């Protein structure tokens, strides 16, 4: 084996990205790979909220609430340009008096548990005190960007010791004497590894996974004021939230059993969107008016079921060391991913054992890079890079597209428009822009005309479920 890494991380969603960051900060050499793009799987399904664990107080799970408060503070500290305070409130007009009393008690207890919620935070990122029925969590303006920044931070923490590859599959794990010692990887051949960490979520859970869905739609009047609003569904009493984001409203979350193999490409059936719309309509008059015409995108991802045959996603994260030494990590929340990664890397360090890799850094001193500074330096190389892809019609600059391909591992239209620049994150950006970006990428990535047309078609298919693709 010509290559070696202390830690091979398979799966580069938020769990794999934070694990790479923590491992690199302790001096481990890391190889991070994903079979698709970074963050294109379950991590793409997010309501954009960094939760402080208020709902766990319903069951008096103080440990999980404290964990969420700690991890929310970590995100606010590490990524202050992308994570900011968000006012949240529950709609209680139709709730009985006992429920209002319980909410008051919960907010008071949450206030006590989160006395140190602003420790180490810049003033603009500090969370105000709750005022019934309003409390404060945080919103992640760009979850895809924060995930990429964790990957960049991993490379900065251990220069030359971290390699990252998307669209790369593990063909086979190599074992000796019952222990994983390497892997055969597409494009790399055989790689010797000290430890393998699997962060692939539902594909390793066994049984039928749960599909978790959020709808991104036209802005609802209720969220125009910038608050996230929560409801209890009148029929099944499940929680539903409406979150303002980029001039739209995110509505969710609905979970359902997923009938297809978790390892196959994700499928979202058209009828499931209709089921979702039917579920939200009884909740509020404004939601009753939402139809297919209002849906701009669907955020969907697979989670392990708990129990395996249910339609309820796993509640608690798991870090398991297999008999062959592989460490399997299953996270359940975007917010708490870094804390889970600390536990997972602790296990990896214990397994490696031969070196003093250092204690957990906990993100306190991570060299979190600045995307704006990196992009700005790139754009200054040439005036042509700073011009709009479609002058007068789009703020997206040519340099942003090329930077994504040349410096941030983008290989397709979805990589650029959904997960690097965010140009399509709030809805289809228009056929003309898609074609213009495809032409730029064709020159940079060497696509043939057939490959460019295929990329354009595949990108449009991301939006066909609602029929909301502009005519031009």
pLDDT in tens, 414-450: 999 999 999 999 999 999 999 999 999 999 999 999 9
CATH class for the region spanning 3-44+144-205+315-352: alpha beta
Q: In the chain, which residues have pLDDT < 70?
A: 1, 205-207, 308-309, 354-369, 465-467
The CA distance from 108 to 141, in Å, is: 28
pLDDT score, position 205: 65
Predicted local confidence at residue 1, as pLDDT: 60
CATH 2.30.30 at 371-461, yes or no: no
User: Residues 66-78: pLDDT tens digits?
Assistant: 999 999 999 999 9
Q: What is the pLDDT of residue 116?
A: 95
d(CA 197, CA 230): 36
CATH number of 207-311: 3.30.9.10
DSSP 209-248: -EEEEEEEEEPPGGGTTS-EEEEE-TTT--EEEEEEETTE
The domain locations on the chain are 3-44+144-205+315-352, 207-311, 371-461
Write down the pLDDT at residue 206. 64
Q: Which residues of 335-356 are buried (b: 16+ CB within 10 A; e: fewer)?
A: bbbbbbbbbbbbbbbebeeeee
DSSP conformation class of 468: -
Distances (CA, A) of 144 to 80, 282, 297, 408: 15, 32, 15, 12
pLDDT on residue 355? 62
């Amino acid at each position: 084996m010509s290559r070696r890494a202390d830690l091979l991380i398979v799966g580069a969603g938020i769990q794999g990205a934070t694990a790479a960051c923590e491992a690199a900060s302790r001096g481990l050499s890391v190889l991070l790979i994903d079979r698709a793009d970074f963050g294109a799987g379950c991590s793409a399904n997010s309501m954009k909220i960094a939760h402080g664990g208020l709902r766990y107080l319903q069951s008096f799970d103080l440990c999980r609430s404290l964990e969420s408060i700690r991890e929310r503070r970590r995100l606010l500290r590490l990524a202050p340009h992308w994570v900011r305070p968000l006012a949240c409130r529950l709609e209680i007009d139709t709730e009985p008096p006992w429920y209002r009393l319980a909410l008051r008690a919960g907010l008071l207890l949450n206030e006590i548990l989160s006395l140190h919620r602003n420790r180490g935070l810049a003033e603009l990122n500090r969370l105000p005190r709750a005022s019934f029925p309003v409390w404060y969590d945080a919103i992640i303006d760009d979850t895809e960007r924060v995930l990429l920044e964790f990957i960049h931070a991993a490379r900065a923490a251990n220069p030359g010791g971290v390699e990252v590859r998307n669209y790369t599959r593990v063909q086979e794990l190599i074992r000796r004497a019952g222990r994983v010692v390497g892997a055969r990887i597409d494009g790399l051949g055989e790689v010797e590894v000290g430890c393998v960490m699997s962060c692939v979520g539902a594909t390793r859970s066994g049984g039928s996974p749960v599909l978790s869905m959020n709808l991104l739609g036209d802005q609802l009047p209720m969220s125009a004021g910038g608050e996230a609003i929560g409801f209890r569904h009148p029929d099944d009493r499940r929680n539903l939230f409406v979150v303002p984001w980029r001039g739209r409203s995110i509505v969710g979350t609905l979970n359902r059993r997923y009938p297809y193999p978790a390892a196959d490409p994700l499928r979202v059936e058209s009828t499931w969107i209709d089921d979702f719309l039917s579920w939200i309509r009884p909740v509020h008059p404004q939601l009753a008016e939402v139809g297919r015409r209002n849906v701009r995108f669907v955020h969907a991802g697979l989670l392990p079921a708990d129990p395996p045959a249910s339609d309820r996603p796993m509640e608690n994260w798991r870090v398991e060391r297999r008999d062959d030494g592989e460490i399997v990590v299953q996270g359940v929340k975007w917010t708490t991913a870094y804390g889970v990664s600390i536990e997972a890397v602790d296990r990896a360090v214990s397994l490696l054992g031969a070196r003093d890799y250092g204690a957990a850094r906990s993100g306190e001193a991570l060299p979190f890079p600045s995307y704006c500074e990196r992009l700005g330096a790139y754009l200054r190389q040439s005036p042509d890079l700073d011009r709009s892809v479609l002058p007068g019609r789009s703020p997206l600059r040519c340099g942003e597209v090329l930077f994504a391909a040349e410096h941030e591992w983008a290989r397709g239209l979805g990589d650029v428009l959904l997960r690097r620049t965010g140009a399509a994150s709030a809805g289809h950006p228009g056929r003309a822009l898609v074609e213009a970006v495809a032409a730029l990428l064709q020159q940079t990535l060497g696509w043939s005309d057939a490959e460019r047309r295929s990329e354009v078609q595949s990108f449009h298919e991301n939006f066909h479920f609602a029929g909301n693709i502009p005519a031009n």
